[in-house]
Amino acid sequence: MIVRKFQPTDLKRVFEIESMSFNQSYGINMFQQLHDMGVGFLVAEKDGYVVGYVLFWIKYENQGHIISIAVDKNYRRRGYGTQLLVKAISILSLLHLDTIYLEVNENNKGAVEFYEQFSFKQDRVVPGYYENGDGAIVMYLKLEGGKISR
């Protein structure tokens, strides 16, 4: 498995993964726009086949944000999500940010537990965040000197 920069030829496959992973997905054009804006965009590959992706950026001067992360349902629980998240955190840490934020569906307990393994903490719930009415748990990871603060 390798984690590498997104290439425009990955767009269709990334959108397939997004669509199978979330009820409310970004449109294919949004992925292209985010890439064109220069956000961090990595994919995980297994034998040349894209099996996951992560999008991240600097939201404010001292805060990073994980926009989206997903792995093809047929490749989950094999370390691809872990490698993508670790790489995104590593890149954001090099920028000497204070905090990394993300939002996760309040009903997605598996994802909440996944992020907690990386020392993300629950901050608050935003009711009605998603189109279907579900709330989002805002989670954060504190960094100190480019390293995870536990």
Look up the CATH number of the domain holding residue 125: 3.40.630.30
From residue 105, alpha-carbon distances to 13, 90, 112, 137, 149 in Å are 23, 24, 8, 6, 24
Helix, strand, coil shares, percent, the chain, to 5: 35, 35, 30
Per-residue pLDDT at 64 = 95
pTM: predicted TM-score of the whole model, two decimal places: 0.89
Question: Which residue reads 């920069």 in tokens?
Answer: 5
Per-residue pLDDT at 150 = 54
- H/E run at residue 35: helix 28-37
- The 8-class DSSP code of residue 97 comes to -
Per-residue pLDDT at 84 = 97
Q: Which structural domain, as residue segments, surrounds residue 80? A: 2-148
Tens-place pLDDT, residues 4-57? 999 999 999 999 999 888 877 777 888 888 888 888 999 999 999 999 999 999
Tens-place pLDDT, residues 83-135? 999 999 999 998 888 999 999 999 999 999 999 999 999 999 999 998 888 99
